[in-house]
Every structure is written in C-alpha cells, then in structure tokens.
Amino acid sequence: MSFKSVKLFGVFTALFLIVGFSVSLYERSISGLTELWRNSETFGQVLKISTLFLGGALLLVSTQTLYCRGRGRLDAAIHITAGLSLLLLFLTPFYWHTRTLYLYPYSYVKLNGTTVGLKELTFRNSTITGDFFIEEKKGGKAEGNVSFNRPLISREGFIWIRGISEFNGAPAVEVKFSSFSPVPLLFITLFGVFTILLGVRFLKTGGRDVHSYRGKGAPEADR
Amino acid sequence: MELVKLLTGAGALLSATGGVLRNRTLITISAAVVMGILVWRSFTFGYPPIFDGFDTLLLFAAVFGITAVFSKADPRLSGVLSGVFIGGALLLPTEVKSIPPIIRTPLFFIHVGSAIVSYALFLSCSLLALFSREAEVIKPFKWGFFLFTVSLLFGALWAFLAWGEIFMLDPKSIFSVGFWLFSAFVFHTLYDEKLKNHTRLMVVFNGLLVIFLFLGVNFLFGGTHEF
C-alpha cells in the first residue's frame, strides 16, 4: 500500500477519532497543549498512552499530508500548509510552555532569569486592564497593557490575564506567561494561509463533484 | 401573533408550496425570507442569535433550502422538507438568551457562526445524499468543509488571544479535529477507485457525526465549550 493511499488516510483518521474518544473519556481536568508537559505527570496510565497515540496519529496525518501534494502548485501549497500546521500542533507541547502566576499590583516574579511584573491594575466598565512588564537578564524589556482577549505579545514573552481573585483585601491577578515561541504565531499564519488557499481552490473549481464528471472530460476527474 | 412567527409561517408555507408545485424559485424565496428574519433579529439583539433553538433551526432550514436548490435535488422532497423544518421552528420559543459580555467578540461570532453554517451544510448534504439520488452533494459538502476550517482557524486565534492556547485537550476540540479529518477523507475518497463508490454513504455518516458533535459531545463529556 502506498503512503499516499486514501485508505491509509482513513485509517489514520479512524485512529485519531478512537484515541480521541479514549482521551475524552479519561481526562477530567482539561489541559491545554502548552501545559501538557507539566499536567501529564498527573495522568493515569491509560490517559498517558492515549495521549501518546493521539499525538502519533496527528504526526502520521501531517506526514502523509506533506507527502501527498496533489497536482499543480495550488494543490501542493494547500497540502504543505495543512501538513505543516498539523505538524506544529504536534510540536506545540515540546516547544511552547506556559506557566500560571498570581500577581498583586506592584509585584513581580522571577522565572529563570526573566522578571514578570504587574505595575497598575485598572477597573473600568467591567473591564480589567493590567500594566505589565517583562524584563530579561540579557537586558531586553517589554511593557504593555493586558486585558481579557488582549495579551501582551513581545519578543521577550507573552502575558495573558486569566482571571482575578482577592486575597486579604488586595486583588490578585491570575496571569499566564510564556517565553517567546514562534510556534503559535507560525501555526496561526500557516493555518490562515491554508484556509485562504482552500477557498481559492474551491472558488476556482467550484468545488465540483469530480465523481459526477468522471469520464466526461473534466481533467480533475480523470486523475 | 408575533410578527416573527407570522413571517416564519409564511416562509414554511412558501417552501411547502414550492415543493408541491416542484418550483425551485418558491423554495429560494422562502430561504431568502428566513435569512431576512435572521438578519433582522441580529440587528434587533445586537449580535447574531445563533445560540437558541428557534434561530438555529431557521438557519439550518434556510441552508438546507439553498443547498437543495443548488445541488439540483428533487424539488418536491427539498421544498416539503424545508417547509417542515421552518414550520418546526414555530413550536420553539423566540426569546434569545443573553450571552456573557466577555465572549461578545467578533472572533467568537465568526468561530461559532461558521461552525453552525458548516454543520447545516453537512447535514443538508447528508439528507440529500440519503433521499435524493440526483443531488450533487460533494460541491456543497466541500464548502461545508471550508467553513468548518474557517471556524477552526478563528477558534485557534481566539483561544490564543484569550487563553494563551491554540488547542485545548477538551472533548469538543479533539472531536472537531477528528471530524475535520474525516470530512477531508470523505471528499478524498473520490480519488480512490474502490472507495469512490461509497462516497455518498460516507456523506450520510458524516451527517451523523455532525449530530454527535453538535449535541452529543458536550452532553456526554462536558468541557470548555459548554457555554
């Protein structure tokens, strides 16, 4: 059987769905891919194996997608961007890690030589805005406002506000921090390009039913 | 009687009449009336009301009507079925539940809106593949796939901006990617000499997966998509 086989694609997809069912059944505390490196330590044996198989199925689909290029430049570009997007999804737990921190106004935390701090916290019209900074050992510094749906994205790192709580009368902000990683930005760019190319492809061919045109001279149908 | 219910009833009658008379124009006008109701309600509430049964069923009925006309399905079947779906909405309350302000972002509406339209397209293709042999279902199926891809893209973008993740290991996200792969597999079967004979059957099965994804996943497993 060729690695380009559609049947093989079906097998990989079925594997993903079956293992996905197992992960959904056994995982009780939802984990993001960026926290998987830490949370996986608490996983049971079945969940650990299921997660490994889920990643394996994703890797197989992405490799096959990269290997199958279709015909023409557009088809090739669609398969490459789709395959790379899936590959990046697979690589996310290895190359992009986040940590959850709790900060009070005018406090900071030092993480492996990087200082993450909160200066001011503003409450306005049910919106919370924090004035954050990231300071690197090497001298790089980034500052900016962060609120829900609006993170700080810089070369020095990323900061998100996850929530707010109160301790001894002072507001404590739940913050998610990660060092700079090209993975999420690359994934969104590649998947965005893939989506646009897919739309162009369907617009060009009208997404027509190649099966009904087979043998009637439509070049696509006779491949 | 409320104006919205009167218009919905008119849409149902138009579609059913179009079915009985085998008139595709009437079915198209009925779908346009229903889409008009949805646009009007979106302006009234300030956001697309795609989170309650009434509007979701109307959206599905309109997408089904349009898909049936464009895929050249049997007009009697498509008109009557579309009329039944629109008429079914009359049994549901028209009140719209308020959604939390934190999720009222354009990214959320694109993410959920494109997913719901893609579900409606996939389900329409599934019904047409089952009941109307002459219908060309792959063309609308591919557009369903495209819209679902748009939904995944905006879901990932929103998750990145809001939670610092591009993918959560939650049941809805896992099954969405699995479903997306299966949909891609369905239209790739046309390139396989043996599998191409079963493509329509897989389109029907894909519809069952949509029902599971839309109704079953959150109900059975819970997760971050419960709101």
- A202 inside 8 A of chain B by CB: yes
As a whole-number percent, the residues of chain A with pLDDT over 70 amount to 91
User: Are the Cβ atoms of A13 and B143 closer than 8 angstroms?
Assistant: no
Closest residue by Cα to residue A139 from A113, A163, A177: A113
Q: How confident is the model at residue A136 (pLDDT cuts 50, 70, 90)?
A: confident
pLDDT of residue A86: 97
| Number of cross-chain residue pairs from A and B with Cβ atoms under 8 Å apart | 147
3-state secondary structure of A124: strand
Find the closest chain B residue to A51 by CA distance: B169
Residue B177 in contact with partner chain A when CB distance is under 8 A: yes
The stretch B164-180 carries a mean pLDDT of 91
**Which one of B156, B185, B217 has the shortest CB-CB distance to A9?**
B185
Backbone angles phi, psi at A164, to 5 degrees: -140, 140
Q: Is the Cβ pair B149, A198 closer than 8 Å?
A: yes
CA distance B62 to B55: 10
DSSP B190-219: GGSTTGGGGHHHHHHHHHHHHHIIIIIHHH
Reported confidence tier of residue B15, pLDDT bands at 50, 70, 90: very high
| d(C-alpha A87, C-alpha A61), whole Å | 9
Least confident range from A34-43, A47-56, A177-186: namely A34-43
Residues of A in contact with B105 (CB under 8 A): 149
Tokens for A33?
């891919």
Shortest CA gap B73–chain A (Å): 14
Asked if A209 reaches chain B (Cβ–Cβ under 8 Å), the answer is yes
Q: Is A182 an interface residue toward B (CB < 8 Å)?
A: no
Region for residue A129 given its phi and psi (left: phi exceeds 0; alpha: psi -120 to 50; beta: otherwise): beta
**DSSP H stretches of helix in B21-137:** 24-45, 53-70, 75-89, 106-131
* Exposure string for A140-175, b = 16+ CB within 10 A, e = fewer: eebeeebebbbbbbbebbbbbbeebeeeeeeebbeb
Q: Give residue-wise pLDDT tens across range B20-76.
A: 999 999 999 999 999 999 999 988 888 887 778 899 999 999 999 999 999 999 999
CB B170 within 8 A of CB B224: yes
Kindly tell me if the per-residue pLDDT of B126 is higher than 70. yes
Q: Distance from CA of residue A91 to its chain's centroid?
A: 9
Residue A12, pLDDT score: 97
Is the CA virtual torsion B139, B143, B146, B152 positive or negative?
A: negative
Classify the complex by whether its ipTM is higher than 0.95, answering yes or no.
no
Average pLDDT over residues B118-145: 93
Whole-angstrom distance, CA of residue A160 vs CA of residue B213: 29
Chain B residue with minimal CA distance to A68?
Answer: B188
Closest CA to B177 of A46, A10, A86: A86
Average pLDDT of the residues of chain A: 87
Note whether A149 contacts B156, CB cutoff 8 Å.
Answer: no
Could B153 and A61 be called an inter-chain contact, meaning their C-beta atoms sit closer than 8 Å?
Answer: no
pLDDT of res. B224: 58
What pTM does this model have? Answer: 0.89
**Tokens found for residue A164:** 């707010």
DSSP string for residues in B1-32: --HHHHHHHHHHHHHHHHHHTT-HHHHHHHHH
Cβ separation of B153 and A13 shorter than 8 Å? Answer: no
Q: Do A92 and B166 touch (CB under 8 A)?
A: yes
Q: Is the minimum CB–CB distance between B212 and chain A shorter than 8 Å?
A: no
Nearest C-alpha of chain A: how many angstroms from B165? 6
Q: What is the pLDDT of residues B89-108, one digit of tens each?
A: 999 998 887 777 667 788 88
Q: Do A7 and B221 touch (CB under 8 A)?
A: no
Instruction: Give the closest-approach CA distance of A202 to chain B in angstroms.
Output: 8
Domain architecture of chain A: domains with CATH? 6-97+182-213 (no CATH), 99-178 (2.60.98.10)
Residue B199 touches partner A, C-beta closer than 8 Å: yes
For residue A137, name the pLDDT band (cuts at 50, 70, 90).
confident
Rounded to a whole number of angstroms, the distance from the CA of A130 to the nearest CA of chain B is 14
pLDDT score of B101: 66
Task: Report pLDDT for B219.
Answer: 63
Q: Is the alpha carbon torsion for B90, B91, B94, B96 positive or negative?
A: negative
The reported pLDDT for the residue numbered A222 is: 33
- The whole-number average pLDDT for the span A57-71 is 93
Nearest residue to A142 via CA among A112, A178, A187 = A178
Q: Does B152 lie at the interface with A, CB-CB under 8 angstroms?
A: yes
Mean pLDDT of B84-93: 93
Q: What is the pLDDT of residues B175-222, one digit of tens each?
A: 999 999 999 999 999 999 999 999 999 999 999 999 988 877 766 665
Structure tokens belonging to residue B10: 């008119």
DSSP A71: S
Closest CB to A195: pick one of B143, B153, B217.
B153
Task: Please report which residue ranges of chain A form alpha helices under DSSP H.
Answer: 6-26, 36-39, 45-67, 72-95, 182-205, 210-213
Mean pLDDT of B107-122: 92
